[in-house]
Amino acid sequence: TGGVRATFEARGYTAWDPTSPAFILDNPNGTILCIPTVFCSWKGEALDKKTPLLRSLDALSAQAVRVLRLFGSTAARVGATAGPEQEYFLIDKNFYYARPDLLNTGRTLFGARPAKTQEMDDHYFGSIPERVLACMLETENELYKMGVPVKTRHNEVSPSQYEIAPLFEQANVATDHNMVIMETLKRVADRYGLHALLHEKPFAGVNGSGKHVNWSMCDDQGNNLLSPGDTPHANGQFLVFLVAVIRAVARHGDLLRVAVAHAGNDHRLGANEAPPAIISIFLGDMLEDLVDQIEKGTVTSAKKGGQLTIGASVLPVFRRDPGDRNRTSPFAFTGNKFEFRACGSAQSISGPIVVLNTIVAESLDYLATELERVVANGGDVDREVQSLLQKVVKESRHVVFSGDNYSEAWHAEAERRGLPNRRTTVDSLADFVTPKSIELFGKYRVFNERELRSRYEIFLESYWKTIAIEAQSMLQLAARSILPAALRYQAEVADSVAKLKAAGVSPPKLQLRLLDELVAAIEELQANHDVLAEIMAAWDDDDDMAHARHSRDVVVPAMNDLRAVGDKLETLVASDLWPLPTYQEMLFIK
């Protein structure tokens, strides 16, 4: 609770959320009525992820409606819409139960690279394995029964990795439904002898799992406010909403980064499979051209997509989009919505949506205030929009980037542009409690300072606790699984060498070398184990930030050292003696 609800002040309240439909959960032994509910403390402070989300939706609506009025709309309410694409792994549950690291932490803490992983893309482009497809179909049926509108299923890049995506909904409902999707994936997988892994990085060396959060704004008359339409250049209202988002990300990219900062996501962000920790925007050809025109002062035209012929007469002519897509950007415009790609697969999408709603509300507030002043003085909104947007685009342009976000060059370029690059959770979290953040969330009544600080503490504490549990699990695996197997094999090889000697044969050099290698690796395993064990025993500071820094800078490197030698032993020790299911088995037995 981050100090908001201590044991001696434990009263709390719940209230039904009437905007998210109740549903009935089927269980083999009964049915349960589930009612989406908020949870707050005796003083009214939010203790959940729903209350701030509902508050941020109010903030967004209030500011968006002001802008709409200026353009003659009669809408009374604006909501955010969201469609989260959920990635996950399915592995045989026997392997899951045989891996204490997966059970304790959701990811493998040891595991040598198998001969083959994802280099042929044959899982990605292959058909869905039959057992998995059966499991997916039942998951979908269960979800339909609870009113969750899922529509997309496919294989993902890593072997045994998959994706499920719903039809987008109101952001609050989409957030609840994503939780239901994650629960249902786990529940149904079990019926097929599978286990669903939702962790961001269950396996080293292959792709991890993210959750792309597609986000837009929609008024109560059903208009998507980020839909460019056929003549976006002449649509002042669209341009205001677009520029509001650009301004929001330019000013508060650090908060979007905070919203996806947790130990699991540190394994993913910045690796060559997920966007970097630098938050930038991809707009695509058409919008980037519009933004160029705005910057120059007059917007006169919009690029058209045109037609695409493929060359075979039996095939149809396509209507081509006005711009290509960029899969490396953390925040990309995709047709009529933005796709925030930095979220982790295991996290609730509430946090990222709360941040998006709030920072965009602030920019809409700013733009509405400027424009309302013009109107009050009898000015012309359309003329004023041009010069206002020009000013804002000039201030915010540095956050727009269309190149390869995975490249090293971008890191240097981003630094030149002054964009923050918070590589780890620990680097990022402090941005949550800066005066800028406290003022922003306070002004729009999304978090008061106490709520913000309590969440900051919770995030820090979850970070170091996650790493502490991983370190303890590693110590146990190293001492009780890997070391005994390695010692047994060492004895076998030593025995074989001794027997050769006894038979009067001088043992071949390579056999002696194998023995030496084993002896050395076992020595290193024990030494690295002891280093990590000492680090874990010595720490007694109760300052959460100090603890988190120590976890990142001291514990994690010691874990990496221990893993390296454990994985080396896996490549030396006889496979019939190896006590843990291997990557080969977990990733390829489908």
Q: Which residues bind ligand ADP (CB under 6 A)?
A: 81-83, 85, 152, 165-168, 212, 214-216, 224, 336-337
Least Å distance, CB 324 to ligand ADP, is 13
Terminal CA-CA length for the chain:
40
Nearer to ligand ADP, 86 or 160 (CB): 86
Nearer to ligand ADP, 114 or 147 (CB): 147
Residue 337 near which of ligand ADP, Mg ion, none (CB within 5-8 Å, type-dependent) = ligand ADP
* Token representation of residue 560: 């990496």
Please state whether 278 falls in left (phi above 0), alpha (psi between -120 and 50) or beta. beta
How far from chain centre, in Å, is Cα 446? 22
Residue 166 near which of ligand ADP, Mg ion, none (CB within 5-8 Å, type-dependent) = ligand ADP
Burial 404-414 (b: 16+ CB within 10 A, else e): ebeeeebbeeb
- Within 10 angstroms of residue 425's Cβ, the number of other Cβ atoms is 28
Least Å distance, CB 382 to ligand ADP, is 26
Nearer to ligand ADP, 165 or 388 (CB): 165
Least Å distance, CB 34 to ligand ADP, is 22
Least Å distance, CB 132 to ligand ADP, is 18
Nearer to ligand ADP, 209 or 551 (CB): 209
Would you say 573 and 565 are in contact if contact means Cβ atoms under 8 Å apart? no
Residue 216 near which of ligand ADP, Mg ion, none (CB within 5-8 Å, type-dependent) = ligand ADP
Least Å distance, CB 153 to ligand ADP, is 10
**What length is written for the chain?**
590
Nearer to ligand ADP, 406 or 588 (CB): 406
Nearer to ligand ADP, 8 or 125 (CB): 125
Would you say 224 and 337 are in contact if contact means Cβ atoms under 8 Å apart? yes
Ordered DSSP codes for 193-215: TEEEE--S-SSTTS---BEEEEE
Least Å distance, CB 151 to ligand ADP, is 7
Residue 108 near which of ligand ADP, Mg ion, none (CB within 5-8 Å, type-dependent) = none
Binding residues for Mg ion, rule: CB under 5 A, are 85
Rounded to 5 degrees, what are φ and ψ at 204? -70, 150
Residue 405 near which of ligand ADP, Mg ion, none (CB within 5-8 Å, type-dependent) = none
CA-CA-CA-CA torsion sign (491, 493, 499, 504) = negative
Nearer to ligand ADP, 111 or 166 (CB): 166
Would you say 162 and 155 are in contact if contact means Cβ atoms under 8 Å apart? yes
Q: What crossing angle do the helices spanning 509-538 and 449-477 adopt, rounded to 10°?
A: 150
Least Å distance, CB 321 to ligand ADP, is 12
Please name the amino acid found at residue 442. Answer: G
Widest CA span in the chain: 108
